[in-house]
A and B are shown apart, each in its own frame.
Chain A
Amino acid sequence: MILAILETAKQAISEASWETITAACDLAQKTNDSVTALLIGREVRALAPTLSGVSTVLVAEDPQLDSYIPEAFAKIVSEVIKQKSPQIVLAPGTETGNDLMARVAARLGLGLATNCTEFHLTRSGEGQGEVRVTRSNWGGSLLEEVEILSKPILLTLQPHAIPAHAAAGPEPAIEALSPTLTAKEFRVRVKELLRSEKKGISLTEAKIVIGGGRGLGSAEAFKMLEELASLLGNAAVGATRVATNNNWRPHSDQIGQTGAQIAPDLYIACGISGAIQHMVGCKNSKKILAINKDAEAPIFQRADYGVIGDLHQIVPALIAELKRVKGA
């Protein structure tokens, strides 16, 4: 049995969970196995019949599970693993999924390979087959091939690594679980939710993003990137870690391994050398245009278009030209 742990958000199966189902079904096909899915929450049963391709859906409902409650969810998953003895357990490699599976792995004393992108199974079952996975290192700048020695195999799936596709099949069987939870499992839980006001277009939604790095040199210099952004319509301004660590921009504007991962149609990188931690945050951009005075900067090895020169001259000239063109 391959056990797929699913996440729900706003009464729906999350995108990363559909990817998890797809990956679990692929694995099941290769190993001649079946997929059981696990849904946990307050009212999640209604989602179960939509999971075609899955043979059984386990539903763990409890009125107290109105949001992700780490230790309660971990207890439920651990008990399902103990009772059902799956060969492989796969969860989305989201923040919640990694948090949950780390807790499950700790409880069961098992290894866990997070953010996997590929699976190589020599055979299924309890035989001596070797299980290797490819997983993301350095935020995806490198890939690591890992052999997993502990069983069952616990994995999380790197979001977007495997596109979700609908699997055909009969409606799954549904099995209700009755989790027993104690106060101990609720010592870590959300006490309050604070909504934050959204201002402007977000980095992850913008079609065009303009990024500024060390070459900007000051908070002041970002004003010209703002002006350029407004001339390009729905563009957002982002920054590198150097810029946010220097307080030129707030951390929420950071693009990179420890900031936002963006995927715009066009990313205009200004005064950015191209440190790998930054590039993993913008590598999904359709096109990258780099402006840098150092022709040897690594950014030019990872860009589609390059302009060599001082951004403090080029950007103002570009702004003037765009104004002229737009005025015309």
Chain B
Amino acid sequence: MKVLVCVKRVPDTGGGFKLTPDGMRVDTTNVGFAVSPHEECAVEEAIRIIEKHGGSSTVLTLGPPAAGEQLREAIAKGITGAILVEAEDYESWDPAATAQAIAETVKPLGFDLLLFGNESADTCNYQVGVRVAHLLELPCVTGIKALEIQNGKAIAKRETKDGWEVYEVTLPAVFTVKEGINTPRHPSLRGIMSAKKVPIEQKRVTKPAPQLVRKALKKPQEGRQLEILGQGPEAVPKIVEKLRELGAI
């Protein structure tokens, strides 16, 4: 079984955003990076599938050399190989361009299972996995929260308002994963140390012409006025009064 999992390096934003002076990007000075939450779960799922069924797992990202950090983190958790599709300007790659580069890179490698996040945390385009599946002519189920491999088939579940939709797809296939499919592990210290030695395969592709071009980023209006009700347990009578005022009791 050969499993591929694709991730995207995104700023680890915490409590708020600062935008760059030109308003084009999130200011990442003094900000760490992570992979999007859905993808963290896709990485975990890839590791679990290989632990259960044997084979190899590869993590891929399209990004700057610094994204090696995210690839090594996945290796530290248990992924066995890594590919960096080098794109210093990856933030200006639209979903179609990203998908084309990924499809081109992975096509000769013959993966049985290709996992993506349902959407990236930053640009939320909801497309790269679907587009890669189309380019490779593979079936694709999006937004899955359960996955099982049985006799060359994948049984995937998608959560709905009333329950679960069950899909059965013949491999090779593409799935986009949602957080909740599993609880991602933390890398072990040993894993972190040995991940440093695993080589990262570097690939270069020509950037396809963009169809979407970012013109600006902006913050939406937020309109709340904070009223401090008090400090510590002494604030309780004030809280109760407020709850009553709001009709909560």
Contact = CB atoms under 8 A, between A and B. Distances in A.
Asked if A and B are interacting partners, one says yes
B65 interface: no
A307 B126 contact: no
Nearest to B166: A192
Contact of A318 (B141, B183, B212, B236): B236
B135 interface: yes
B189 interface: no
User: Interface size class for chain B?
Assistant: 35 or more
A6 B191 CA distance: 49
Interface in A281-311: 283, 287-289, 297-298, 300-310
B124 A95 contact: no
Contacts of A288: 224
Contact of A289 (B183, B237, B239): B239
Interface in A253-299: 254, 257-259, 265-266, 273-277, 283, 287-289, 297-298
B217 A143 contact: yes
A148 interface: yes
Say what secondary structure dominates the interface of chain B. Answer: mixed
Interface stretch (B12-20, B53-61, B67-75, B198-206): B12-20
Contacts of B119: 98
Contacts of B240: 318, 321-322, 325
A144 B216 contact: yes
Given A265-B247, A276-B13, A304 B224 contact: yes
Contact of A305 (B166, B218, B227, B236): B227
Interface string B121-154: 1111111001101110001111100000000000
Given A98-B126, A146-B212, A188-B139, A254 B180 contact: yes
B94 interface: yes
Interface stretch (A19-27, A41-49, A109-117, A216-224): A109-117
A190 interface: yes
B142 A95 contact: yes
Interface string B220-235: 1010111111111101
Given A146-B215, A304-B226, A257 B121 contact: yes
Contact of A232 (B123, B215, B249): B249
A47 to B, nearest CB: 20
Contact of A190 (B125, B131, B165, B179): B165
Interface stretch (B1-9, B76-84, B105-113, B167-175): B167-175
B195 to A, nearest CB: 21
B29 interface: no
Interface residues of A, number: 89
Contacts of A275: 13-15
A78 B233 CA distance: 61
A307 B224 contact: no
Contacts of A106: 96, 99, 127, 130-131, 133-135
A232 B192 CA distance: 47
Contacts of A266: 243, 246, 248
Contact of A137 (B96, B123, B131, B249): B123
Interface stretch (A30-38, A56-64, A79-87, A244-252): A244-252
A17 interface: no
B218 A105 contact: no
23 contacts: A102-B127, A107-B134, A110-B211, A111-B94, A139-B124, A144-B214, A146-B215, A147-B213, A148-B211, A150-B211, A188-B139, A247-B183, A258-B37, A266-B248, A276-B14, A298-B16, A303-B226, A307-B231, A308-B231, A314-B236, A318-B239, A321-B237, A322-B249
Interface of A: 70-71, 95, 98-99, 102-103, 105-107, 109-115, 132, 136-150, 187-196, 208, 231-233, 241, 244-245, 247, 251-252, 254, 257-259, 265-266, 273-277, 283, 287-289, 297-298, 300-310, 313-314, 317-318, 321-322, 325-326
Given A252-B180, A304-B224, 17 more contacts: A98-B126, A102-B127, A106-B127, A106-B135, A111-B94, A113-B212, A114-B125, A114-B127, A139-B121, A141-B220, A148-B212, A193-B164, A259-B179, A302-B222, A304-B226, A314-B232, A325-B249
Q: Give 6 nearest A-B pairs by CB, closest first.
A: A111-B211, A298-B15, A251-B180, A106-B134, A309-B232, A102-B130
